[in-house]
């Protein structure tokens, strides 16, 4: 069974399994490394199931996950494992507070998308059609202090009207109606970034002509207005 399409009103157990499944995909496809990244889904309207800090997302099981309230207080965790709320959790809550329709969030450190921000290159929306057809424009935040509230503040102004944000010299965060959408956006983001980085090593990046871009942008804004 693919759990990634499940809504927030599925059972807690199934939503836990959805996160485990997403974690294994992110880790095995190289989108997450070591203990990095975090994944969450809304549970009903006022709780969130989220991965804990300092744990490889490819090697978790359902009892490793935490249930938190919308302020980040832990409501439920395994009493033996004593998992902790990640310092990156407030970024997830920032998105849930701003966008009631968002039911799933993934934060990762995908190498190529992150490399663009390390190189000071904005994520281009005019290199591959799929950006304006599916992913939408992707903003890059400024630098932030390494504390939970600063990370949430760094993405604050960019959350609305986007599906993905690159966090400067850090990673990316993607979100959608369910984990399937959030994961798709993360995969698209990284595949476009990888194509850009590869093209750069082959001699340069060519852009989609302006007249085609204006059609793509118009179609995108009609679809999302």
Pick between residue 171 and residue 176 the one whose CB is nearest to Zn ion: 171
Q: Shortest distance, CB of residue 36 to Zn ion, whole angstroms? A: 6
Nearer to Zn ion, 169 or 200 (CB): 169
Q: At what angle do helices 148-156 and 89-98 cross, to 10 degrees?
A: 40
Binding status of residue 23 toward Zn ion by CB under 5 A: no
Q: Does 171 bind Zn ion (CB under 5 A)?
A: yes
Tell whether residue 52 is a contact of Zn ion (CB under 5 A): no
Count of residues interacting with Zn ion (CB under 5 A): 1
Closest chain position to Zn ion (CB):
171
For the bound state, the minimum distance from the C-beta of residue 105 to Zn ion, rounded and expressed in Å, comes to 12
Shortest Å distance, C-beta 66 to Zn ion: 17
Kindly indicate which of the ranges 18-26, 158-166, 169-177, 184-192 contains the residues binding Zn ion, using the contact rule CB under 5 A: 169-177
Q: Please give the torsion angle defined by the CA atoms of residues 123, 125, 129 and 130, in that order, rounded to the nearest 10 degrees.
A: 60
Q: Which stretch binds Zn ion (CB under 5 A): 25-33, 55-63, 170-178, 194-202?
A: 170-178
Q: Which is nearer to Zn ion, 23 or 171 (CB)?
A: 171
CB of residue 38 to Zn ion, shortest distance in Å: 7
- Contact residues toward Zn ion (CB under 5 A) are 171
């Amino acid at each position: 069974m693919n759990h990634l399409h499940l809504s927030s009103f599925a059972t807690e157990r199934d939503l836990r399994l959805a996160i485990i499944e997403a974690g294994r995909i992110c880790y095995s496809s190289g989108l997450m490394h070591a203990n990095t990244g975090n994944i969450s889904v809304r549970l009903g309207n006022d709780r969130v199931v989220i991965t804990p800090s300092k744990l490889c997302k490819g090697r978790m099981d359902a009892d490793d996950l935490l249930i938190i309230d919308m302020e980040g207080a832990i409501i439920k965790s395994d009493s033996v494992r004593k998992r902790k709320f990640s310092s990156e959790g407030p970024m997830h809550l920032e998105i849930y507070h701003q966008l009631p329709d968002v039911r799933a969030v993934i934060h990762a450190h995908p190498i190529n998308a992150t490399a663009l921000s390390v190189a000071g290159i904005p994520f281009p929306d005019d290199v591959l059609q799929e950006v304006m057809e599916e992913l939408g424009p992707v903003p890059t935040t400024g630098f932030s202090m390494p504390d939970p509230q600063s990370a949430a503040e760094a993405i604050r102004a960019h959350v609305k009207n986007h599906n993905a944000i690159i966090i400067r010299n850090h990673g990316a965060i993607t979100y959608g109606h369910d984990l399937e959408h959030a994961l798709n956006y993360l995969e698209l983001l990284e595949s476009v970034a990888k194509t850009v980085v590869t093209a750069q090593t082959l001699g340069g990046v060519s852009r989609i002509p302006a007249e085609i871009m204006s059609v793509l942008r118009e179609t995108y804004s009609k679809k999302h207005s």
